[in-house]
Amino acid sequence: MKRRDFVKLSGCFVATASLAGVACSDDDGTAGADASNTNTYSFPEGVASGDPHADSVVLWTRAVAATAEASTSVTVELATSEAFTEILVSEEVAITDASDWTLRMLVDGLQPATWYWYRFRAGSDESEVGRTRTAPAATADVNVNLAWVSCQDYVAGLYDAYRIMIDDDIAAAEADQIHFVMHVGDFIYETVNDGFQDAVNEEFESITFNDRQGRPRQVDAFPSGGAVVTGHTFADTLDDYRHLYKQFLRDPELRAARARWPFVQTWDDHEFVNDCWQSQGNFDESATLGEPRQNGRMSASQAWFEYIPTNLTGAGSVSGVTSQAKDFAAATVTDAAFTDFDANGFATNADNVAAVGAITIYRSLRFGANCEIIMTDLRSYRSDHAVPEDSTKGSAAYFDPRNALPLELVNTMDGGAMYNGGNPPPTVLGIDNARMSSPPGTCMGATQKQWFKDSLMGSDATWKIWGNEFPLFRLLIEQGPIGALLADRILNADAWDGYNFERKELMKFISDNQIPNVVSLSGDVHAHYAGYVNDDFDIAAGSQVPVMVELTTAGITSNSKFMFLEGPTRSGAVVAIRPGVTYHATDNPGGEERFIENLNLTLLYGTQTAVDVANTLRSDSVAKAALDAGRLANPDANPHMTYIDTNAQGFGRATITATEIQAELVTVNRPIDPTRAPSVKRTASFTIPKVNAGQVPTLTGPAFTGTKPWPTNLE
């Protein structure tokens, strides 16, 4: 074993495996078990690994001393078996409070497509054993099994989805076991228990509950006290963000998942601030530009880097494409308002440039001949949201600053000066067009977008899998007889529907260059979706051409999209849109009321059908008659969508082969009852066959096990 150089940030190391190994006949894998009872050191957040390449992987832990000390010596061991009879790495390193006592070691010199086991020792104490796996060699024609997850609000539920993933994996044949987990964002949430993250039960009332260890499912107060804005308490300092990772990682199911599989991760917004862009927060939705938050961005990035095992600086990339990824390096910044922007809407103020540039996390990872994973960062370089948060106040178009906004309003402002062939209107739906002189919106920014295009073009993998933070396909709420829906609306302007101009550009690039078999695996929106991403959602539906397939997973725990909208409709805030959200049914006169996910129906078959079904207020048979009649009049509101489950928590799973992708979206039973064992409510299965260049992608499914979602159960 030969140790290499200490890397940039304290707590980061590199080691090379000795493939000859070191025989340890006196070590049966239980060494340190008795000594670990000394409790001099502990590993409270468990162990983890990440970013597997064919010859390397990153190992991670956090070691805490019972009494204060300047530094802690930790030995990292990696072996070919759980018994540790042949140790390939045994490396002692020193960690300090500069990295919050976290340790990340890149181990290279490993064999491809190989399981390894690892552990950490400090003094006489020993961590649990972790398991990890390297990626297949770039030319290996092998299957790749992955799971993808998103949105794990700690206080909104238990991590039952991870337990189901683990138990299913243990029971599966070796060939069917998961090789790695892709996390597409919202690993933490940036607030404490102030109402913003209230868990909600089936009766839509706020609740508190204990986890299975008998502890309140709550996040403790921030070390700094946090930043209180508009009644919510947000992380404000580096210690606050570190605190959140430690709180979330006290969950045993999350720790067990990180110990079982390597994770490949990006971030979304809640690792920093909800609906953030660049180094701006969005605490106060009445603020046009959000709030300058450069120090917060720096702190959030450092904490993410410390707690998420990633391989950034020096990592590989698609052949011929220069990797942009780089490790975190701190800089001194001041929270300063944005004043100057480049041609892509990026604020060129020195503090923003430094805060965003402290780390670069978009990157690609190769898993054999059939799978290129392309992970993006759609927060750090994006322009502001198309519609200024304060421009819809008091307007008939207003519902929420970024939800259920009129399609015409969003598209016009997103297009900026380029809208309508460079002739944008001064007003839209009676609202001043604040963006008519602005560049079109972007989620990627210029540099990342060019890297993304180059990676798609340069990869010779059968499948190009985009680890995408939020959905690409359009989710339209049709104009119709529901409240103030006087115009077609998009469900969420914080996702790609709010950046339609760039979406069209990317789809045109893929289509023009005939890049086949690009698949987006996304999250963020707290619902399961499956469908096609078309070349141009603004032209007649019959003229749109699918460019790629997308599958979106619901959150591990976070409150579903249905519940997000059902709450206001039930409380009286926006009762007018209630028929488009919920079907209020009774099975028989005087029977128990049920609140059913009519939002699914609204998105599938339109608002008129949703109203007709909601107004039956009767049995399922009466509702089915109304549904059938409505579908005859309007068979599809979003014809590119094949599956919608807006009231879900769960995860996605996929097997990628040379000829197809077999995928499933798993909905778990609402994970808020610690007395109930984790269980699956339904599984929707899909197949994506391989196509050749120039061919249109296809998606078959869903095929169901378990209870079908409304209104599919009526069909």
Q: Looking at residue 23, what is its pLDDT?
A: 38
pLDDT digits (tens, 9 = 90+) for 180-207: 999 999 999 998 875 544 545 444 455 6
Residue 257 domain flag: no
Asked if 157 contacts 66 with a C-beta cutoff of 8 angstroms, the reply is no
641 lies in some domain? no
Q: Supply the pLDDT for residue 203.
A: 46
Q: Please give the structure tokens belonging to residue 689.
A: 């066959």
What pLDDT is stored for residue 450 in this prediction? 98
- Rounded alpha-carbon distances, angstroms, from residue 512 to 382, 453, 457, 506, 690: 24, 12, 11, 10, 19
Question: Which residues have a Cβ under 8 Å from the Cβ of 615 and sit 6 or more positions away?
Answer: 579, 626
**Mean pLDDT for the chain?**
88
Tokens encoding 387: 């519609």
Q: Is 112 domain-assigned?
A: yes
Q: To the nearest whole percent, how much of the chain has pLDDT over 90?
A: 70
Average pLDDT, integer, range 675-695: 97
- DSSP-assigned letters across all residues of 112-168: TT-EEEEEEEETTEEPPPEEEEPPPPTT----EEEEEE----GGG---HHHHHHHHH
Give the mean pLDDT of 331-357: 95
Given pLDDT bands bounded at 50, 70 and 90, which one contains residue 357?
Answer: very high
**Residue that is written with structure tokens 């529901």 in the block:** 482
Give the number of other Cβ atoms within 10 Å of residue 356's Cβ: 23
472-519 per-position pLDDT tens digit: 999 999 887 766 567 899 999 999 999 999 999 999 999 999 999 999
Percentage above 70 pLDDT, the chain: 87
Q: How confident is the model at residue 28 (pLDDT cuts 50, 70, 90)?
A: very low
Residues 243-251 have a mean pLDDT of 97
pLDDT average, residue stretch 677-693: 97
R_g (Cα) of the chain, nearest Å? 25
Spell out a b/e string for 5-38, using b for 16 or more CB atoms within 10 Å of the CB, else e.
eebebbbbbbbbbeeeeeebeebebebbeeebee
Pairwise CA distance, residues 302 & 45, whole Å: 17
610, 633, 656 — which closes off a domain?
633
In-domain check, residue 495: no
In a domain, 592, yes or no: yes
The pLDDT of 362-375, averaged and rounded, is: 98
Q: What is the domain count for the chain? A: 2
Q: What is the pLDDT of residue 24?
A: 36
Q: Is there a domain that residue 627 lies in?
A: yes
Give the pLDDT of residue 12. 84
Name the domain boundary from 95, 113, 134: 134
Question: Of 633, 649, 674, at which residue does a domain stop?
Answer: 633
The count of residues in the chain is 715
- At 665-675, the pLDDT tens digits run 999 999 988 99
Instruction: Tell me what pLDDT residue 264 has.
Output: 98
Say if residue 682's pLDDT is above 80: yes
Does 67 fall in a domain? yes
Q: Is pLDDT of 286 > 80?
A: no
pLDDT in tens, 204-224: 455 677 888 888 899 999 999
- Report which of residues 59 and 13 the model is more confident about: 59
Average pLDDT over residues 358-367: 98
Neighbours of 4 (CB within 10 A): 12
The answer to whether residue 449 scores a pLDDT higher than 70 is yes
pLDDT at 429: 87
Domain interval for residue 609: 568-633
Pairing of β 180-183 and β 263-265: parallel
Stretch 14-42: mean pLDDT = 55
Q: Determine if the peptide bond prior to 702 is cis (ω within 30°).
A: yes
Among residues 269, 249, 47, 264, the alpha carbon closest in space to that of 147 is found at 264
**Could you give the 3-state DSSP secondary structure of residue 138?**
coil
Tell me the CA distances in angstroms from 568 to 106, 387, 661, one per residue in order: 48, 22, 39
Within a domain: residue 573?
Answer: yes
pLDDT at 404: 84
Which among 318, 260, 185, 160 has a CA at the least distance from the CA of 677?
Answer: 160
pLDDT for residue 617: 59
* Sign for the pseudo-dihedral over CA of 559, 562, 565, 570: negative
Q: Find the mean pLDDT for residues 142-166.
A: 96
What per-residue confidence (pLDDT) applies to 392?
A: 61
Q: What is the pLDDT of residue 619?
A: 65
The confidence score (pLDDT) of residue 201 equals: 45
What average pLDDT does the segment 394-410 reach? 75
Q: Does 631 have pLDDT greater than 80?
A: no
Q: By mean pLDDT, which of 54-68, 92-106, 273-287, 313-327 is the weakest?
A: 273-287
- Burial of 571 by CB count in 10 Å (0-12 exposed, 13-18 middle, 19+ buried)? exposed
86-95 pLDDT, tens digit per residue, is 999 999 999 9
- pLDDT for 629 equals 80
Task: For residue 102, give the CATH number of its domain.
Answer: 2.60.40.380
Give the mean model confidence (pLDDT) for residues 364-384.
98
526-580 tens-digit pLDDT: 999 999 999 999 999 999 999 999 999 999 999 899 888 777 676 655 666 677 7
